[in-house]
Structure 1
Amino acid sequence: MQQSVADLYHRSAAVVDLSCITHNLNEVRRKVPGRKIIAMIKANAYGHGLTRVGAHLAAEGVDYLGTAFVEEALELRKAGITIPIITSGPFSKFQIGLFIENQIDFTVASVDALHLISESAAFYKKRVNVHLKIDTGMMRIGIRHSNADQLFAAALKVEKQVNVVSIFSHFANADSEDLSFARLQLERFLEAAHFYDKHNLPKPLLQIANSAAILRMPESLLDMVRPGIMLYGYHPSQCCKAEAKLLPALSLRAKAMYFKVILEDSTVGYGRTWTASENCRAVTLPIGYGDGYSRGLSNKGQVLLRGKRYPVVGTVCMDQIVVCISDGEAYNGEEVILIGRQGEETITADEIAGQLGTISYEVLTGISQRVPRIFIDKKRGQNNGI
């Protein structure tokens, strides 16, 4: 007999349903027929678990995995994942050998970086894959779009050492109601890429579409796309929600570990920020801001117990929170939902983000490493912890 998920952990857990990620990937494919897919799994796969999610997406046939930094890519290689990986962030010259030895693609944002890579490639006697980053208005990394021909020309001079797989840029606000700036960015990007047509050269693959653009800007899909947050079941913003049916893959759970009655006029927690207006029952959960449940949810957050919503009372501690269940009932060891569904009620990362004045990305990636990830596949009936 298969164990229930609640039997797989003792204190708290982030439970990831891989079948939801498969569903969301299929929604991407429905929106981008024929395009190559770079599945973004940076920041511990948006909090969902880097290597297990990476292996799952590789098995589902994505063309690339995308990380921010080489350290993440190395974890994937150590886990036996062999499909192409691109890192989108900056790197140190001392890390270049790690890229080459582990067949990890570079993002190149400057002529100087390109020269360092080509010199190292010559030393290793290898031709390495790179993706040239063009800044069309994000102002993070990337050569300015008006100067992009300098980077393209430099890459041609070292083509024996460097294979330019793609050129790409990143939208600043494709998740906004007003898409005028995003369209300007796309125009700048395509104008820069026209370098190859002007010089009658084979053009690298073009990529600029993130989750928001996949959902709202079909003209931006080009050759490759980079879905991130939508793979995990969340829309980048409200104005994207009508464009795809996504299934949140992660639920955050904890077990009630202590039950008590709080007497009228008693205060709860650090700073005594909540006072009981009457006698009430309460449970303590072994999860706190050290696990990624934000202190900003003090006296704001809600949880689900037996399918009902109950408030978090007092200040969120590093390791524990207190939940007032009024005259409700609970037993030690009973499962409580902080993100996810129980009965007819659902608490989403979007709801929590709204309470905190942030976005679902931060809520999900903030779930700390000390919270074990448990992987299930409801379609296949599989439960596996890490």
Structure 2
Amino acid sequence: MPKATETVLEIDLSALEHNYHYLRSKIKPSTKFLGVVKAFAYGNDSVRVAQKLESLGVDYFAVAYAKEGVVLRDAGITSPILVLHPLPSGFDSIIERCLEPSIYSEYILDAFLETAKRHGQKDYPIHLKFNTGLNRLGFKKDQVPQLIDKLTPRKEVKVVSIFSHLAATEDKNEREFTMGQINTFKEIILEVEERLGYRPKCHILNTSGIINYPEAQFDMVRSGIGLYGYGNEARVDAELRPIATLKTIISQLHVLEANESVGYNRAYKVGSKKVTATLPLGHADGIGRPYGNGKGQVLINGKMAPILGNVCMDMIMVDATGIDCKEGDEVIIFGPQTSAEKMANRANTISYELLTGISQRVKRVFLDG
């Protein structure tokens, strides 16, 4: 891999391919696979990631909002795209770009029916979202009769899938709760099928669900974080490859004597002589203030260097004492050698937040084989 000369996010598309095939191996050949590419494909690049996954045979994509789907369509992505959290302001764009909305409330259903009618649509594909315990978005089970009664006479739309989202598939202690969600979803499937007169595609599993509840794969599974190299548990992480490596360089080295301080508010005070390295990235790049004061660490020439003091907007300072390094040397923030999950845990957060928070001003560099 090329050495960094500035702050870059290096994205390994061959690692993405590995992760896709690993997750595919956990499901039946007939089960469809939906790749979640919302939030710039978890902080990477939604277009390049979707292009790679489409070439590998992914059946569906999912984004959070309509504008994310518009970007994919405008880049030439032709696979079906589910919009997980559509809002009425995006309904015209959804129809114009042949995106498929998740319908999760009567308000959203009424608004989309109105838009579909205005656009002269017939059998436009929609997905019904059911709330089985996450309590975030979705219809409840007892709403099925009135929901289907409202849909049945309408010709503008057609239900192509029903789905739900599991709350704790990675937590073995919550198995009873998860099985309760799955069983509730099974009951919803039967009632929807009976009232609609046909069975739409059904899906409920996320990445951890694919691993831990393969018996509930139904017709399709959805994976986000797993595609990007994180499995929410050590045994799965060992099988996956992080696709993103955040790299930077040493801008300047300082030798500080006892009683000197580092950064804003003098948050770190030197007890004895130290060498510090200033790096050109900060909270404007996605390395938030919680990583300061020793919570975050970076890798310099194979050795860990903790962040000293407060994270600045465009810079962090790290302890390079005892590390053989010079200005211009490459520094790894996270990647296969030093996990984003471990870094996030030290700051009392999760890999999702760290990965999706990498600013768009950070240059993306792509590797593929």
- Output the TM-score relative to the length of structure 1: 0.90
Is 1:269 the counterpart of 2:263? The answer is: yes
Task: Give, in angstroms, the shift of residue 130 of structure 1.
Answer: 0.4
Query: Which residue of 5, 16, 19 corresponds with 2:14?
Result: 19
Q: Is the 8 A contact 1:66 1:86 kept in 2?
A: yes
Is 1:290 the counterpart of 2:284? The answer is: yes
Corresponding residue of 2:75: 79
d(CA) in 2 for partners of 1:65 and 1:242? Answer: 23
Change over 3 Å in CA distance of 1:171–1:115 after alignment to 2: same
1:194-233 correspondence runs (5 A) = 194-199=190-195, 201-233=197-229
What do the CA deviations read for 1:230-288 (whole angstroms, capped 9, x no partner)?
Answer: 000101245xx359711111111111111221122211111212222222222110011
Corresponding residue of 1:104: 99
d(CA) in 1 for partners of 2:132 and 2:27? Answer: 23
d(CA) in 2 for partners of 1:245 and 1:193? Answer: 33
Matched residue type, 1:374: V
Q: Is the 8 A contact 1:111 1:154 kept in 2?
A: no
Matched residue type, 2:64: A
d(CA) in 2 for partners of 1:350 and 1:96? Answer: 36
Corresponding residue of 2:51: 55
What do the CA deviations read for 1:186-223 (whole angstroms, capped 9, x no partner)?
Answer: 11111011124545821001010111110100121000
What do the CA deviations read for 1:156-212 (whole angstroms, capped 9, x no partner)?
Answer: 221x21121100011111121121111111111110111245458210010101111
Query: Which residue of 275, 286, 293 corresponds with 1:299?
Result: 293
Gaps in structure 1 of 5+ consecutive residues = 380-386
Query: Which residue of 153, 163, 170 corresponds with 2:165?
Result: 170
d(CA) in 2 for partners of 1:200 and 1:70? Answer: 27
Q: Secondary structure of the equivalent of 1:225?
A: strand
d(CA) in 2 for partners of 1:201 and 1:218? Answer: 27
d(CA) in 2 for partners of 1:244 and 1:305? Answer: 23
d(CA) in 1 for partners of 2:11 and 2:265? Answer: 35
Corresponding residue of 1:364: 355
Is 1:6 the counterpart of 2:3? The answer is: yes
Change over 3 Å in CA distance of 1:330–1:242 after alignment to 2: closer
d(CA) in 2 for partners of 1:273 and 1:284? Answer: 15
Is 1:249 the counterpart of 2:243? The answer is: yes
Corresponding residue of 1:189: 185
d(CA) in 2 for partners of 1:337 and 1:208? Answer: 36
What do the CA deviations read for 1:271-309 (whole angstroms, capped 9, x no partner)?
Answer: 212222222222110011111112111122211111111
What do the CA deviations read for 1:115-171 (whole angstroms, capped 9, x no partner)?
Answer: 33233223322231100011111111111122223223322221x211211000111
Instruction: Tell me how many residue pairs correspond in the alignment.
Output: 365
d(CA) in 2 for partners of 1:110 and 1:265? Answer: 60
d(CA) in 2 for partners of 1:134 and 1:259? Answer: 55
Matched residue type, 1:299: N
Matched residue type, 2:118: F
d(CA) in 2 for partners of 1:295 and 1:116? Answer: 41
Q: Is the 8 A contact 2:301 2:323 kept in 1?
A: no
Change over 3 Å in CA distance of 1:200–1:45 after alignment to 2: closer
Query: Which residue of 361, 366, 375 corresponds with 2:366?
Result: 375
Corresponding residue of 2:32: 36
Change over 3 Å in CA distance of 1:41–1:123 after alignment to 2: same
d(CA) in 2 for partners of 1:363 and 1:40? Answer: 17
Q: Is the 8 A contact 2:152 2:196 kept in 1?
A: no
Is 1:151 the counterpart of 2:110? The answer is: no
After superposition, the CA RMSD in angstroms is 1.7
Corresponding residue of 1:382: none
Matched residue type, 2:221: V
Task: Give, in angstroms, the shift of residue 109 of structure 1.
Answer: 1.2
d(CA) in 2 for partners of 1:38 and 1:298? Answer: 37
Matched residue type, 1:171: L
Q: Which is further off, 106-115 or 295-304?
A: 106-115
Q: Which is further off, 273-282 or 214-223?
A: 273-282
Q: Is the 8 A contact 2:300 2:323 kept in 1?
A: no
Q: Is the 8 A contact 2:231 2:237 kept in 1?
A: no
Q: Is the 8 A contact 1:175 1:213 kept in 2?
A: yes
d(CA) in 2 for partners of 1:103 and 1:199? Answer: 27
Is 1:280 the counterpart of 2:280? The answer is: no
Change over 3 Å in CA distance of 1:200–1:65 after alignment to 2: closer
Corresponding residue of 2:339: 348
d(CA) in 2 for partners of 1:50 and 1:329? Answer: 38
